[in-house]
Amino acid sequence: MGTVTYPHAEVIEFVTKHFAAAKFNVKEPVPDFKEAVGRGKVIWAPLFIFLDYRGAELRRYLGYLPHDHFLAELRLVLGLAAMTHMKYQEALEWFLSAVEKSPDSSAAPEALFWAGAADYRIGGAQPMIARWDDLIARYPGSTWATRADIIPPELRER
């Protein structure tokens, strides 16, 4: 991450604009290391943990990502932060931007799933169903398509 992803100009600009960032060397833990890790453990690195501005955990994931995949993760996290604070329209925009700007990223199908959740909060079941149908069509092999494929026929508009 330190040699390829973090030096990328778009990553620098995005992280600087949207996040408060801290780095911890797992081999040299500082006094608040355990508090930073929370209730889990660092069993592999790099490990990324995201908190909202009040300290509530939003997400954690593992492993190196190239810059476009990492940016998709960051947009997904910003959407989750907005969802946490009931800013559903803002959340929807972040989720959709993760998909549209990095459609081949590992975060894209998950972001589309969450876009459906934001749609539900904004407009109810039908917009969510439409979004999840799009997810199933665009990412049919993903675990997020599997999770979205739960709509009973009686919930669909005739």
How far lies 87's CA from each of 25, 58, 132, 136, in Å?
Answer: 34, 15, 20, 25
Buried b (16+ CB within 10 A) or exposed e, 28-42: eeeeeeeeebeeeee
Q: Which is nearer to another protein, 40 or 124 (CB)?
A: 40
Q: Which is nearer to another protein, 54 or 158 (CB)?
A: 54
Q: Which is nearer to another protein, 34 or 156 (CB)?
A: 34
Least separation in angstroms between CB 80 and another protein: 8
Q: Which is nearer to another protein, 23 or 39 (CB)?
A: 23
d(CA 93, CA 90): 5
Least separation in angstroms between CB 141 and another protein: 29
Least separation in angstroms between CB 137 and another protein: 31
Least separation in angstroms between CB 40 and another protein: 10
Least separation in angstroms between CB 75 and another protein: 11
Q: Rounded to the nearest 5 degrees, what angle is found at the Cα of 134, between the Cα atoms of 133 and 139? A: 105
Residue 112 contacts residue 135 (beta carbons within 8 Å): yes
Tokens of 63: 């492993």
Q: Which is nearer to another protein, 46 or 127 (CB)?
A: 46
Beta carbons within 8 Å of 41's beta carbon, 6+ residues apart: none
Q: Could you list the residues that contact another protein (CB under 8 A)?
A: 1-2, 6-7, 11-13, 15-16, 18-27, 30-33, 35-37, 42, 45-55, 58, 74, 77-78, 81
